[in-house]
Amino acid sequence: MVLMVELRRTKRVYAMKVIKKALVTDDEDIDWVQTEKHVFETASNHPFLVGLHSCFQTPSRLFFVIEFVRGGDLMFHMQRQRRLPEEHARFYAAEISLALHFLHSHGIIYRDLKLDNVLLDHEGHIKLTDYGMCKEGVRPGDTTSTFCGTPNYIAPEILRGEEYGFSVDWWALGVLTYEMLAGRSPFDIAQAADNPDQNTEDYLFQLVRGRSAVSVDWWALGVLTYEMLAGRSPFDIAQAADNPDQNTEDYLFQVILEKTIRIPRSLSVKAASVLKGFLNKSAAERLGCGENAFLDILHHPFFKTIDWEMLEQKQVVPPFKPRLESERDLANFPPEFTDEPVHLTPDNDTVIADIDQSEFEGFEYVNPLLMSLEDCAYGSYGAESSSSDYDSVCSELPAKRPTLLQHMFCLPLN
């Protein structure tokens, strides 16, 4: 669960990620939580990564207080624009490249780059978020082998069960850049059928045309009934290719491994070149993975117009600025999430008794770049606050004995 919260003293808005300790059940889960915390700490030092304000815990929950990035994610904006102008895609790909390079230089493989995890701030600059799949402690030349990632973005070397390194992030950037430029995934079933222009609204209408003329309502009922019975549309590209079993994850992986990626003819030569570079199925030959590593990306013709130094200093004006009415404006987030009521369930003593609290020792953290410990001690109440003030705040919060950090936030905001 992620809540929008407010720092009492400054009224500044943050996002608060809440994790139930009862769901952190084994060593792998504990490692995941610690890794996410460590990467959040590291990310606080880069302009294109979501940083950490603080961490605290109650007997039942863990809390990450992180930057609230108001502009929404690229998935949200792509759903409204379908595809981006090349100038926009180049800008976002360049900022993402700098963020990935920073993580790599600190021994971190991101492993979860996708449209949903690329946020836009109020000015239009990107910030990567969600570090739960990150791998820490990776030195140049080191590899790992865990099978993970979002299916559409998983690199071929992962699917082949090979050891892999930073190369998987550059592959994912290729997939994401393709999506921005083409308005679809490079691994859509249409592309697998050797027609990169099929997965369009016009092609869907072409499939529908030629059917017998029927009442539009009965037609719609037929489509809906088909979807309920078959679990997919009667006009899926897979079905149009006379193979109703293609629309599966296994088939997607087969496409990633075996099919040639076809670049839409509408893209520029430079855009096609950078996509072919990132989407090379050989990790060793992939753009960003050769002897010159990141320098090959910096000097690629697609990025020729980018002033990398100015970009990293956020001195380049973004091509798009999200519309925002206030610091709390949620217009750039899907209403099905923002309208959902927030329920922090009461603590269950039986559940808490089964939690090994020693596993979470040292979880508390305050980012020295954003605030000082003196702010923690005095910022919320003032030096003259009494114990009765402290107890009155405690009574407003769901935990029985929250830590001092928890008193600093009003949660949640409506």
What is the distance between the alpha carbons of residues 112 and 132, in angstroms, rounded to a whole number?
8
Domain of 174?
74-186+261-312
Do both 337 and 296 map to the same domain? no
pTM of the model: 0.79
Per the structure, the count of domains in the chain is 2
What pLDDT shows up at residue 306?
Answer: 98
| Domain contains 220 | no
pLDDT digits (tens, 9 = 90+) for 334-362: 777 777 877 778 888 999 999 999 999 99
| Domain contains 208 | no
- Identify the band that residue 99 occupies on the pLDDT scale cut at 50, 70 and 90: very high
For the residues of 103-148, what is the DSSP string, one character each? HHHTT-B----SGGGEEE-TTS-EEE---TT-B----TT--B----
Do both 21 and 131 map to the same domain? no
What is the distance between the alpha carbons of residues 70 and 327, in angstroms, rounded to a whole number?
7
| Domain contains 248 | no
Lowest-confidence segment of 97-106, 247-256, 331-340 by average pLDDT: 331-340
Q: Which of 312, 339, 371 is the last residue of a domain?
A: 312
Are 318 and 123 contacting, i.e. CB atoms less than 8 angstroms apart? yes
For the chain, helix, strand, coil in percent to 5 are 40, 10, 50
Are 112 and 176 contacting, i.e. CB atoms less than 8 angstroms apart? no
Do both 290 and 398 map to the same domain? no
- Catalytic residue selected from 112, 121, 188, 236: 112
HSE-up (13 A, CA, CB side) for residue 18: 19
Is 112 one of the annotated active-site residues of the chain? yes
Do both 344 and 371 map to the same domain? yes
Structure tokens at 58: 């109650």
Do both 53 and 24 map to the same domain? yes
- 27 or 104, higher pLDDT: 104
Do both 66 and 102 map to the same domain? no
Do both 394 and 355 map to the same domain? yes
What pLDDT shows up at residue 97?
Answer: 99
Q: Can you name the residues that pair with 119 across neighbouring β-strands? A: 73, 127
| Domain contains 241 | no
Do both 175 and 273 map to the same domain? yes
27: left (phi over 0), alpha (psi -120 to 50) or beta: alpha
ω into 412 cis (within 30 of 0):
yes
| Domain contains 196 | no
What is the distance between the alpha carbons of residues 344 and 238, in angstroms, rounded to a whole number?
42
CA 355 to chain centre: 30
What pLDDT shows up at residue 196?
Answer: 44
| Domain contains 228 | no
Which CATH number covers residue 100?
A: 1.10.510.10
Do both 120 and 48 map to the same domain? no
| Domain contains 27 | yes
What pLDDT shows up at residue 246?
Answer: 63
Do both 121 and 270 map to the same domain? yes
pLDDT digits (tens, 9 = 90+) for 48-67: 999 999 999 999 999 999 99
What pLDDT shows up at residue 33?
Answer: 94
| Domain contains 372 | yes
Do both 170 and 86 map to the same domain? yes
Which CATH number covers residue 395?
A: 3.30.200.20
- Identify the band that residue 98 occupies on the pLDDT scale cut at 50, 70 and 90: very high
Are 403 and 380 contacting, i.e. CB atoms less than 8 angstroms apart? no
Do both 161 and 270 map to the same domain? yes
Q: Which of 312, 347, 378 is the last residue of a domain?
A: 312
